[in-house]
Amino acid sequence: MSHLLEVKNLDVKFDTDEGRITAVENISLTVDQGEVLGIVGESGSGKSVTAKSIMKLNPGNTSYNEDAEIILDNENVLQFTSKQDLKKIRGGKVSMIFQEPMASFAPAIKIGAQMVEQLLIHKNINKDEAKSISINMLKRVGIADAEKRFNQYAFELSGGMRQRAMIAMALSTMPKLLLADEPTTALDVTIQAQVINLIKDIIKEYQMGVIFITHDLGVIAQVADHVAVMYLGSVVEKGPVNEILKNPKHPYTKGLLQALPDINNLDAPLSPIPGNIPSPLDRPTGCVFRTRCPHHNPEGKDGKIEMKLIEVESGHWVDQCGIQCGQNG
């Protein structure tokens, strides 16, 4: 069976005044229908850039490598250049939910008008039909008085409500793939729990594929089926969520888990990962994590081991340098 989305050997580089920055290097991922792929990593690890590449939303100074492929529904998105083609993916086959819902709605246009506008672009329907689809969708995501909210502006809604409206808008065109970029980060825990449950229900109901980006391993544990751990533009470990969280192999994944305060285990000390994430301008050669790796693997430390994912168990892939380091600690 072919995958809903297949990203192969993707590099993303930005040309800036200070030089060419490698934001993402050699990433391969797949997402199936009805599957949630979680991407975790610190700020600056290239999570959002990867997601935006799928919609070709990266800025004009971006370059992709020649042999990269992003195959969505049997078409290579990277080869799309015409507005017509891009329209098919942006908001059509793919929808995106952003972290800050206030910034994603236009402030001076009513929420309903924004929902109707995108439906009219992507679906062959009239205004009344679009309105009723929108209102139904607002009801579906648990917004009380959907008719009233439809005629309000984004600032009149609270944070949780805005995020629900954003989800309703993203889903109303029935995309095949949903990109959720830190959708719960700006929310309080009680509202976060509501939104996570809502997203889970909706995925089940509509059987769409989802890429869920977050820095919170707890949220990943709750929603994802598969996880990719990113560090400085590279995937260092990927596999089924249970495997990654319970049996991590890469020192970076282990470090992330040890740094996380766990309310069920208050006696465990919090151990930070030493050092800082290097600037993408001086990205280390060889293993990208070697400048902060707590385990001294002499060859990896010198940057002599190339980045390459190796399957250690069925479906569980780890960077080869990290396998050796992981065994040391």
Partner 1 sequence: MGDNLISVNNVSVNFDYQENFISKKQKIHAVNNINIKIKKGSFFGLVGESGSGKTTLGRAILGANKISSGNVIFHDDERDYELTNMNKQDLKEYRKKAQLIFQDPYAALSPRMTVRDIIAEPLEVMKITNSRQETDERVRDIAAKCRLNIEHLRRFPHAFSGGQRQRISIARALVSNPKFIVADESVAALDVSIQADILNLLKQLQTELNLTYLFISHDLSVVAHVCDVVAVMYLGHIVEMGPSRELFKNPKHSYTKALLSSIPSIDPEKRSEAIELKGEIPSALNPPPGCVFRTRCPNPGVDCKGGEITMGLTEVEPGHWVDQCCVL
Per CB under 8 A, residues contacting partner 1 are: 42-43, 158-161, 188-194, 196-197, 200, 215-219, 221-222, 224, 241-242, 245-246, 255-264, 266, 270-273, 276-277
- If we measure between CA atoms, which residue out of 120, 226, 100, 102 comes closest to residue 157? 102
- If we measure between CA atoms, which residue out of 64, 67, 62, 156 comes closest to residue 108? 156
Q: How far apart are CA 158 and CA 142, in angstroms?
A: 14
Kindly state the smallest distance separating residue 89's Cβ from partner 1, in Å. 30
Kindly state the smallest distance separating residue 153's Cβ from partner 1, in Å. 16
* Smaller CB separation from partner 1, 276 or 285: 276
Name residue 6's beta-bridge partners. Answer: 30, 71
Q: How far apart are CA 293 and CA 227, in angstroms?
A: 21
* Smaller CB separation from partner 1, 108 or 263: 263
* Smaller CB separation from partner 1, 120 or 191: 191
Question: For 98-197, where are the E strands, in sequence order?
Answer: 177-181
Kindly state the smallest distance separating residue 196's Cβ from partner 1, in Å. 7
Kindly state the smallest distance separating residue 312's Cβ from partner 1, in Å. 19
Kindly state the smallest distance separating residue 111's Cβ from partner 1, in Å. 17
The CA-based diameter of the chain, rounded to the nearest angstrom, is 67
What are the structure tokens assigned to 2, written together? 């072919």
* Smaller CB separation from partner 1, 37 or 245: 245
Residue written as token pair 């850039």: 49
Per-residue b or e along 238-268, where b marks 16 or more CB atoms closer than 10 Å to that residue's CB: bbbbebbbeebbbbbbbbbeeeeeeeeeeee
* Smaller CB separation from partner 1, 262 or 313: 262
* Smaller CB separation from partner 1, 241 or 309: 241
Kindly state the smallest distance separating residue 276's Cβ from partner 1, in Å. 5
